[in-house]
Amino acid sequence: MSRSRLLLPLLAVFFILGACQSEGKLTGEVFIVTEGGSNVELGDTEVRAVSSEEWKPYLREKRRRAKKVTAKKVSRMTPLLDSLEDMESTLERREDELRQVRNRYQPLSDMRATYADEMPTPEEIKGLYTVETAKAKMKPYGDDLYDIRKEKKLNPIDKTKTYFEVKDGRTSYWIHGSDVITEKRYKSHKRSQRGIDKEMEVKEMNYEKIQRKCESVKREVENISEILLDYGVMEYYFKGIPDPEKSDRTNSEGKFELTLTQNKSYYLVAKGRRSVGEETERYHWMVETSLESESSQVMLSNSNMSSTLPDSLDVLTDAQINTDRLAEALKSCN
């Protein structure tokens, strides 16, 4: 066989391989069609062409990781939800117990005089007690001097219609009659409320203890929920994507151009955004395509936009999260 006849098959193979590896132009446009029917071109948006051989394994691996994490988080969340429901029931019981004690409690302020005529005269009393923290004044209706602590015993030495003059060492000050009660009323109140103050303090401590614990568990549930949501949106699959074979940024008219290998499968991967009032809308695309000739065109718009995760990537549905139960849990501890 002659040498020339041997070369002919080799040349044919090289010719075929060269034809298979020839390149072409893929052009397109990235835009959004608004509800009003207007086209909004998305400029400065990167369009990446990732080979399907890299993109599909990448998606499978991302889904595997997401499924592993969500399964672990959901298994942690289930006992937390059980705990929240138990604590919510306990909180209701503690609140009812506290309410019953408070209904029996009569604050010291209820014992104070209501009208000036009810206020005792210095001759009728041996001492006064402040009801709440009160203001010492230089004179009746005068400027404030300092605060007097609640339930402090006072020694009155004079009285106007609505003010008492109280001895304070070598000096004196004036205090309004509505801020004090007589020693007789004070001791009567203490006898009637004996034990209730302590009981109410204990009930309040028990309630606050459960509430703090409930809020702590609720925060953990909220944190887990936020982590789960991160795996349930398109943005997760756009983090750490493989290096594209080619990429281009859209111009002001939203147009792009890529030089790609013909007869090879690619995924066009892009994400864009635009401001609508005070909000920002975000868009994602992962569109499979191939260049069958020297030139082709692909439009990235509403029709092929990945607005929600496809079933093949939706790990949250597989995790079987009881959303109604979760929503109720997030309203607890209030």
Residues 226-251 pLDDT 10s: 999 899 889 999 999 999 999 999 99
Report d(CA 219, CA 282) in Å as an integer.
28
At residue 302, the pLDDT reads: 93
CB 251 within 8 A of CB 47: no
At residue 36, the pLDDT reads: 86
Domains of the chain: 24-79+228-329 (2.60.40.1120), 108-191 (2.30.30.40)
Closest by CA position to 291, among listed 333, 263, 329? 263
DSSP classification of residue 331:
T
Report d(CA 313, CA 60) in Å as an integer.
8
Token look-up 């859209």 returns 250
Report d(CA 82, CA 72) in Å as an integer.
17
Host H or E run for residue 145: strand 144-148
User: Using alpha carbons only, what angle is made at residue 304 by residues 301 and 306, rounded to the nearest 5 degrees?
Assistant: 100
Q: What are the tokens at 138? A: 């230089």
At residue 102, the pLDDT reads: 87
Report d(CA 92, CA 132) in Å as an integer.
31
At residue 219, the pLDDT reads: 93
Beta bridge pairs of residue 183: none
pTM summary value: 0.64
Q: What are the tokens at 10? A: 């080799």
At residue 17, the pLDDT reads: 47
Low-confidence ranges of the chain (pLDDT < 50): 10-11, 13-19, 116
Reported as a single tens digit per residue, the pLDDT across 83-116 is 999 999 999 999 999 999 988 888 888 877 655 4
Closest by CA position to 33, among listed 41, 24, 25, 22? 41
